[in-house]
Amino acid sequence: MKIGIVGLPNVGKSSLFNLLTTAHAQVAHFPFTTIDRNIGMAPVPDQRLADIAEITGSRKVTFAQIELVDIAGLIKGASRGEGLGNTFLAHIRDVDVIIHVLRCFNDPQVPHIEAAVDPERDYEIVRTELFLSDLELTERRMKKIQKKTEYQDEYEQIREIHKALEKGEVPEFMNAELPLITTKKEIVVLNLDENTEHTGMTEGYRLSIRMEEDIKDMKPGEKQELRDEIKVDINGLEGLIERSCKMLSLITFYTIKGEETRAWLLPEGSTALEAAGKIHTDIQKGFIKAEVVGYRDFIDSTGFTNAQQNGKSRIEGKDYIIQDGEIILIKFR
């Protein structure tokens, strides 16, 4: 699962990427600082993991991680290749959720590619390029299959998709041959600063990337207090990652092995066998059974062994559907 960060140049994409991943993508006050995509892993905030680790006394605590892609800024004409747009759009097709960053701050030292700050206009510029790119993709596919009898059903379906795109509407249909961008789930991030009173947009996740850089070493309570003062989301960066994971329908399960307590991400509806494969392919191949304890039962029993003795653990087979928050011990050959 991948999250892609998109937007116009100079809106704060790479700064956000660096904060979430503790990576070191280049940031500068000029367009197209990012030419190729930056890829990094973002830890998923997890209070339950901290609670479990406190009971286990583990020396090593490993958070689940999710892949983030910082995609270079799009501009008008990107769908026609302007600003290396074709390459950037191909990178967007490769992600599962889009974080669309909009600039809602004024700073004369950071030039705006459109001269003036207008987040609604900026949003439409990017979305228009995404629609135009999808239109081109559908047209190429239609041209390729229109004279082939065996593809007529697909041709009619793609034609309906094309009609929707022409109207600026997100298509209702999906097609395996068309990795459309416009159908991807999207989180709009309003990047404010401490002095911004009116963003021009009211819908979106309110965040001050500049302030997050300044407060990154503060305690959680202090961060929330400062965020509340300037009326951004009090959960900040952590809340953005949590929202992304929820949008991807991901759940978390936990393992305890030796000195390590670890969290893992898994698509909702996954089986115990798939969870085993997440840990290691050898564990999946040799899977025998899984012993499962719910998070609340683990906490109330103060540990896995006590949960077993209290009758709170269950033995499940490979087809068992993993539930969010479960602690799992897998027996394998």
Is 254 a member of any domain? no
3-state helix, strand, coil in the chain (%, to 5): 40, 20, 40
- Same domain (yes/no): 16, 103: yes
> Beta-carbon neighbour count of residue 174 at 10 Å?
11
Is 279 a member of any domain? yes
- Same domain (yes/no): 76, 221: yes
Query: Which tokens go with 42?
Result: 């973002």
Crossing angle between the packed helical segments 236-247 and 13-21, to the nearest 10 degrees: 90
Rounded CA separation 177/175 (Å): 5
Rounded CA separation 291/313 (Å): 7
- Same domain (yes/no): 7, 148: yes
- Same domain (yes/no): 90, 195: yes
Read off the pLDDT band of 225 (50, 70, 90): very high
Rounded CA separation 107/121 (Å): 18
- Same domain (yes/no): 109, 183: yes
10-64 pLDDT per residue, tens: 899 989 999 999 755 444 444 444 456 789 999 999 999 999 999 999 999 999 9
- Same domain (yes/no): 306, 171: no
- Same domain (yes/no): 235, 289: no
Report the predicted TM-score, pTM, of the whole model to 2 decimal places: 0.85
72-123 pLDDT per residue, tens: 766 565 455 544 445 667 788 889 999 999 999 887 777 677 778 889 999 9
Rounded CA separation 70/68 (Å): 7
* Domain boundary, last residue among 185, 210, 244: 244
- Same domain (yes/no): 199, 273: no
- Same domain (yes/no): 181, 275: no
171-208 pLDDT per residue, tens: 887 777 788 999 999 999 999 987 765 566 668 999 99
**Does pLDDT of 1 surpass 90?**
no
Which among 284, 274, 275 is positioned nearest to 253, based on CA atoms? 275
- Same domain (yes/no): 204, 298: no
**Does pLDDT of 224 surpass 80?**
yes
Is 252 a member of any domain? no
Sign of CA dihedral 157, 151, 135, 202: positive
Is the Cβ–Cβ distance between 325 and 319 less than 8 Å?
no
**Does pLDDT of 219 surpass 80?**
yes
Q: Which residues pair with 261 in a beta bridge?
A: 61, 256
Is 257 a member of any domain? no
Is the Cβ–Cβ distance between 293 and 304 less than 8 Å?
yes
Is 261 a member of any domain? no
Q: Which structural domain, as residue segments, surrounds residue 290?
A: 269-332
- Same domain (yes/no): 55, 191: yes
Residue 300 sits in a domain whose CATH number is: 3.10.20.30
Is the Cβ–Cβ distance between 71 and 8 less than 8 Å?
no
Do strands 287-293 and 313-316 pair parallel, antiparallel, or not at all (unpaired)?
antiparallel
Is 89 a member of any domain? yes
250-303 pLDDT per residue, tens: 999 999 999 999 999 999 999 999 999 999 999 999 999 999 999 999 999 999
**Does pLDDT of 321 surpass 70?**
yes
Is 285 a member of any domain? yes
Q: In total, how many domains does the chain have? A: 2
- Same domain (yes/no): 124, 240: yes
Query: Which tokens go with 161?
Result: 């998709």
Is 262 a member of any domain? no
> Beta-carbon neighbour count of residue 17 at 10 Å?
28
